[in-house]
Amino acid sequence: MIPETTLAFSGVAHGQVRRHLFPSDGLEAAAILVCTRTPGPRLRLLVRNVILVPYSACKRRERDAITWPGEYLEQAIDLAEPSGATIVLIHSHPGGLFAFSQADDESDCAVIPSLFQAFGALHGSAIMTIDGAVRARLYDPSIRDRPVNLVTVAGDDLSYWWDDKATPAGPGNRPVAFTDSMTAELGCLSALVIGVSGTGSIVGEQLVRLGFGRVSVVDFDRLELKNLNRILNSKRADAEVNRLKVDAFAEAATSFRGEGVVIPVPASIATRDAVLAAAQCDVIFCCVDTLEARHIADLIAAAFLLPLFDVGVVIPVRKEGDTFAIADVCGRIDYVHPGGSTLQDRGVYTPESLRGEYLRQVAPEAHQEELKAGYLKGIVEEAPAVISLNMRAAAACVNEFVARAYPFRLDSNRLYARTQFSLAACEEEYFPEDAFACTSNLLLARGDSEPLLGLPSLKVPAR
């Protein structure tokens, strides 16, 4: 079951809080999280601001108790009230207890009411153990509490901590990659696939069969006969009536996973409906051939604190006299975590290339020729036989997710922010996160602030 409530950290924010909460003295320490939320029915709280409470400001700091200083609570209220954000008070448990103690209950009963006296209808508290694990709960104005089902961190690794009742693998246990326990946890997570054509249909197929509880697929395009050689489960009957790709994918997935697993979104990712669907997910897979779609995926990942996996393939060709020859056969997989380098930071697209793509789109004939040459750069080929290349890239993309969520690499995942392979040269290269400059991102944890993603085109439709 998809969790009803989630508290999401970027890797940067989680690391900042963890370093502060565990000084060398072994005593409890405190911080305050100011959280936005994603739009839609699922409650995903996003850590936007972190206030580190100075150790000296706490009148009482012991191994199993701490006193909250009023001036920092007031600072959090001043920061959160204008936007109606949620405040979560977090402190450390140096002794390792991964649960709320009686002292925590008494502290919350004394402190949380002061937050509601100031503003809001939802605030909470959380604890962290020395390994970085977080457990959280939320209160309503009557000080009734409920657990946060899932706490996530999207950093170099993907971390998931569940409340006792929602733990798929059992309390305190993390699933091992490629096991039934991994499948059980994936059954509680939701993925978004942007584009379900050549590469996206293969990525989506893997996610559904791996056991994701929900897979939303976004694509406005329709099947054609020329697609049948590279889109999984596509049928001639569907192509002959130009069926929506997302509907054909959903039907195929339903045949082996049942109803309700795949959610088709027949729209461009640049539309409000698609962005709202993305906001309800836990991870994004971008399998598109346009720069605009990658740009939107970048914005979504930052605004909703979602991990993003972007995959692309290309076959450059060269002309030799009157014939063409393959110059290379390439694939690229980028992993982007919120607060780290974006696809734009990495040069996957630039403002200039986005503008150039737009200009080509307003010249339909030229743009159509470019689309026909989407795989083989230099040859107009409407039905390229690239399914084997797409399979290779799609598998690498999904395995990248598995490696982040259920680490199995011998080296740190930070060393693999980008993977590039050349089938022509039989080479594979890896680029660490530190190889890319990381610019400031004002969209980080923007949440449901309108207009969504800061784009006027996504504003609430006029009634």
Instruction: Write down how long the chain is.
Output: 463
**The pLDDT of residue 116:** 97
CATH of residue 279's domain is 3.40.50.720
**The pLDDT of residue 391:** 97
- The answer to whether residue 62 sits within a structural domain is yes
- The answer to whether residue 271 sits within a structural domain is yes
- The answer to whether residue 85 sits within a structural domain is yes
Residues 159 and 189 in one domain: no
Query: Residue 349: pLDDT above 60?
Result: yes
Beta bridge partners of 428: 421
Residues 143 and 199 in one domain: no
Residues 138 and 190 in one domain: no
Residues 186 and 121 in one domain: no
Last residue of a domain, one of 166, 200, 218: 166
- The answer to whether residue 38 sits within a structural domain is yes
CATH of residue 93's domain is 3.40.140.10
Structurally, the chain folds into a number of domains equal to: 2
Residues 273 and 391 in one domain: yes
Query: Residue 63: pLDDT above 70?
Result: yes
In this structure, what token pair is assigned to residue 154?
A: 């999207």
Q: Which residues of 189-223 are buried (b: 16+ CB within 10 A; e: fewer)?
A: bbbbbbbbbbbbbbbbbbbbebbbbbbbbbbbebb
Residues 266 and 408 in one domain: yes
- The answer to whether residue 175 sits within a structural domain is no
Last residue of a domain, one of 136, 166, 196: 166
In this structure, what token pair is assigned to residue 161?
A: 């901590």
Task: Write phi, then psi, for 331 (nearest 5 degrees).
Answer: -140, 155
The pLDDT confidence band at residue 12, using thresholds 50, 70 and 90, is: very high
In this structure, what token pair is assigned to residue 64?
A: 């199993």
Q: Is the peptide bond before 451 cis (omega within 30 degrees of 0)?
A: yes
The pLDDT confidence band at residue 184, using thresholds 50, 70 and 90, is: very high
Residue 132: which domain range? 5-166
- The answer to whether residue 174 sits within a structural domain is no
d(CA 75, CA 289): 46
| 190-194 vs 283-286, strand pairing mode | parallel
Which of 38-52, 156-170, 374-388 bottoms out in mean pLDDT, i.e. has the lowest? 374-388
Residue among 158, 180, 162, 269 nearest 216 (CA): 269
Residues 240 and 347 in one domain: yes
Q: What percent of the chain has pLDDT over 70?
A: 94
Q: State the number of CA atoms in the 13 A half-sphere of 193 facing the CB.
A: 32
Residues 127 and 244 in one domain: no
- The answer to whether residue 337 sits within a structural domain is yes
- pTM of the predicted model, to two decimals? 0.94
Residues 187 and 64 in one domain: no
Residues 343 and 390 in one domain: yes
**The pLDDT of residue 25:** 94
- The answer to whether residue 173 sits within a structural domain is no
Distances in Å between the alpha carbon of 28 and those of 33, 63, 70, 76? 17, 6, 17, 20
Residues 284 and 325 in one domain: yes
Sheet containing strand 86-92, strands side by side: 145-147, 134-139, 123-128, 86-92, 30-37, 43-52, 5-10, 150-154, 158-162
The pLDDT confidence band at residue 357, using thresholds 50, 70 and 90, is: confident
Last residue of a domain, one of 166, 201, 220: 166
Residues 235 and 260 in one domain: yes
d(CA 431, CA 210): 27
The pLDDT confidence band at residue 463, using thresholds 50, 70 and 90, is: confident
